[in-house]
Amino acid sequence: MSRVYWAKGPILRKTLTVHTGLVIKSTGSWYKVKSDDGGDVVKARMRGRIRLEGMPVTNPIAVGDRVQYEIKKGEAVIRHILPRTNYLARQSPRNTRHLHLLGANVDQAVLVVTVRYPNLKLGFIDRFLLMTEPQDIPVIILINKMDLMDEEDLELAGGLQLLYEGLGYRVLPISAKQGEGLDILRQWLQGKQSLLSGQSGVGKSTLLNSLKPDLQLKTKELSRHTGKGQHSTTFAEMHFLDADTRLIDSPGIKKLSFNNLEPQQVAHNFREFFALSPNCKFGGACLHRQEPGCAVKAALESGQISDLRYTSYLQILEEIESQKHWQRHKDW
Ligand SMILES: Nc1nc2c(ncn2[C@@H]2O[C@H](COP(=O)(O)OP(=O)(O)OP(=O)(O)O)[C@@H](O)[C@H]2O)c(=O)[nH]1
Ligand SMILES: [Mg+2]
Ligand SMILES: [Zn+2]
């Protein structure tokens, strides 16, 4: 605990105690902060606007952030966000000109996917990796609901594992419900701060409940009508498997879009494309589409680069370009 003095005029001197703590829950309008001294949890607010990458953010503070706050008239008020080691951000689903923070200061991101129930959205994994690659955040991909898989699903899951392991990510097939694969996962999580993310209904909260049964987090059946998850987790919240092992459960993601990125940044963050780009005629400036002498296109034709990754890549570029086009249009 440190004391900070604010001088108010030449005579009046006011003393306020500044606390530091870890944000363990964020609703966008209020936060739960776990104090560094004593570990008590306070409900806190924050005023003022904050920008990120030059864009406004819908939730200026993320779970995982470390903050300084003061208690004023019985209410905790956050004054500063301490420098982040990293963060995950995407375009806000409600306001395309805002960013939305998923988490901060994470040691790794855990992406939970399913082949079916709900169906895997093609390209979803690649979009997720666009949030982690720029900051070199290690990613674990969990392929959940193995207990529900038939032959065809297993083949698809095996293909995904091969593809993403080949790119250097850790991939683990699990069944959160039946507790399969969790021993290895526990080792990977031990002593780290990890963000759990993925589409709604893939089993993020179920997984946390299996790892720590006394959490008793809310989970929900998929909708019979759409076969999709029903957003049972509404706010991101950090849970402690033990004092050093922290897991952030977060609300399901419907769609990941990135108008905070330029096409070049997308190209640079598909790691296997980037690795080949020095061999492209236009080097790091190549977008690997119609450019002559493109090493990525050549690798695609020889099968060294996956069609799945290349298709995702083109879709993301198109989406960014058309969003930028319409934004310019609106600005006129
Ligand atoms: N059969 C089977 N069902 C699972 C498994 N994991 C989760 N489920 C079920 O899938 C449904 C959705 O699980 P949740 O844990 O609520 O999913 P979530 O990812 O937290 O969803 P949101 O909070 O909406 O993002 C529940 O009915 C779970 O019981 C699994 O490994 N096998
Ligand atoms: Mg959930
Ligand atoms: Zn190229």
Ligand nearest to the CA of 232: 1
Q: Which atom of ligand 1 is nearest to the CA of 200?
A: 25
Q: Which pLDDT value is given to residue 138? A: 98
Q: Which residue's C-alpha comes closest to atom 27 of ligand 1?
A: 221
Residue extents of the structural domains in the chain: 2-81, 106-249, 263-331
* 296 pLDDT higher than 70: yes
Residue of 263 and 14 predicted with greater confidence: 263
In whole angstroms, give the CA distance from residue 297 to residue 302. 9
Residues 320-326, mean pLDDT to the nearest whole number: 81
Per CATH, 106-249 and 263-331 having the same topology is answered no
Tell the burial category of 263 from Cβ atoms under 10 Å away from its Cβ (0-12, 13-18, 19+): middle
The pTM (predicted TM-score) of the whole model is 0.92
Q: Which atom of ligand 1 is nearest to the CA of 144?
A: 31
Residues 88-115, mean pLDDT to the nearest whole number: 92
Q: How far is CA 69 from the centre of its chain?
A: 25
Is the CB of 219 within 6 Å of ligand 1? yes
In the chain, the percentage of residues whose pLDDT exceeds 90 is 70
What is the third-level CATH fold of 106-249? Rossmann fold (3.40.50)
Is the CB of 231 within 6 Å of ligand 1? yes
Residues 95-99, mean pLDDT to the nearest whole number: 84
- β-pairing, 12-26 vs 245-249, is unpaired
User: How do residues 232-273 score in pLDDT, each as one tens digit?
Assistant: 788 999 999 998 999 999 999 988 988 788 999 999 999 999
Residues 37-64, mean pLDDT to the nearest whole number: 86
145: left (phi over 0), alpha (psi -120 to 50) or beta: left
Residue of 304 and 217 predicted with greater confidence: 304
Of 201, 277, 214, 275, whose CA–CA distance to 240 is shortest?
214
Q: Distances in Å between the alpha carbon of 220 and those of 17, 119, 182, 233? A: 43, 16, 21, 9
Q: 2-81 belongs to which CATH class?
A: mainly beta
In whole angstroms, give the CA distance from residue 253 to residue 231. 9
Identify the band that residue 14 occupies on the pLDDT scale cut at 50, 70 and 90.
Answer: low
Q: What is the CATH number of domain 263-331?
A: 1.10.40.50
Is the CB of 252 within 6 Å of ligand 1? yes
Where is average pLDDT lowest: 4-13, 35-44, 107-116, 147-156? 4-13
Substitution candidate for ligand 1 out of 145, 182, 206 with most atoms within 8 A of CB: 206
